[in-house]
Amino acid sequence: MSPDAPDAFGLLVCPVCGDGLARRAGGLGCPAGHSFDLARQGYVNLLTGNARSGTADTPDMVAARAAFLAAGHYAPLTGAVARAAAEEAPGTVLDAGTGTGHYLAAVLDALPGATGLGLDVSKFALRRAARAHPRARAAVWDLWRPLPVRTGAVDLVLNVFAPRNAAEFHRVLRPGGTLLVVTPGPDHLAELRAGMLEVDADKDERLDRALSGHFRQVDRVPLEYPMTLTPAEAADAVGMGPSAHHAERRASTGASPAEPVRVTASFRLSRYRPA
Ligand SMILES: [Zn+2]
């Protein structure tokens, strides 16, 4: 990042006292003296005390997801997310649940002047996210806690297959800002989910209900296309996405086909404004 470009770390506040964070040797610190180390890989760890690390992605899960995304099977989704974000022309992007930073990087590519901050509870994912884009920064955080982000400082909150903290998303967004949520559609990987937990038919309604006190929906765009996956990729596809935190689900798919399989990719891109 060039020295005069805005730094997305500037969106952060001290998670202990709420004051601003500034660069200091080896990390970030607030005026009261709370300090947070910058990892060698470039992300900052803001979690103090007992993190809910039990829900964090493991190195194996992160590697599988990165390989799957690199193979391009979700490229149409990535492109749709980047286009939807670019339409909003945000200057600051918060990717809540950034994972490896894949979608945030695509969004920043489509927005030459923007900076992005990715939050995720998995430091293994953030090792990649911190390097995903020159204008991206990454911080370890639990999305269910109050976010360590300045009030009204974010133009676009991006939320792809990740937990949604409606009250906090609303607080950090500027008035007129945008929340862009990606969820699986009802037929997502339907061919692979035989005998597994079904995707709720009313998932869209539950999403709207969960956000309704804080956001109003602008639109919802479905995206559906076929993918041809190897058996290993099929297992990874089931293990990632909305259920990525349940590692045991990967093993439970059991009947991996020996031949490449054609499966349905199905997503919903939902756009909201603060109510
Ligand atoms: Zn502090």
CA gap 214, 230 in Å, rounded: 41
Residue 246 confidence (pLDDT): 40
Instruction: Indicate the average pLDDT of the chain.
Output: 87
Cβ atoms 186, 266 nearer than 8 A: yes
Q: What is the CA(13)–ligand 1 centre distance, in A? A: 8
Cα(75)–Cα(118) distance, rounded to whole angstroms? Answer: 20
* Cβ atoms 104, 251 nearer than 8 A: no
Please tell me the class of the 52-274 domain. alpha beta
Write the CA distances from 6 to 23, 134, 153, 264, integer angstroms: 13, 11, 13, 40
pLDDT at 180: 98
pLDDT band at 186 (very low <50, low <70, confident <90, very high): confident
Please report, for the chain, the start and end positions of each structural domain, with discontinuous segments joined by +. 52-274
Q: Residue 64: its pLDDT value, please?
A: 85
Distance 55 CA to ligand 1 centre (A): 26
pLDDT at 194 over 90: no
> What pLDDT score was predicted for residue 49?
60
- How far does residue 33's CA lie from ligand 1's centre (Å)? 6
What torsion do the CA atoms of 56, 61, 62, 68 make, to the nearest 10 degrees?
-140
Distance 50 CA to ligand 1 centre (A): 18
The pLDDT of residue 232: 86
CA of 35 to the centre of ligand 1 (A): 7
242 Cα to the center of ligand 1, angstroms: 33
The pLDDT tens digits of the residues spanning 51-79 come to 555 556 788 888 888 889 999 999 999 99
Give dist(CA 219, CA 171) in Å, integer: 21
pLDDT tops 90 at residue 210: no
Please give the pLDDT value at position 209. Answer: 85
Specify the pTM: 0.90
Could you tell me the maximum CA-CA distance found in the chain, to the nearest angstrom? Answer: 60
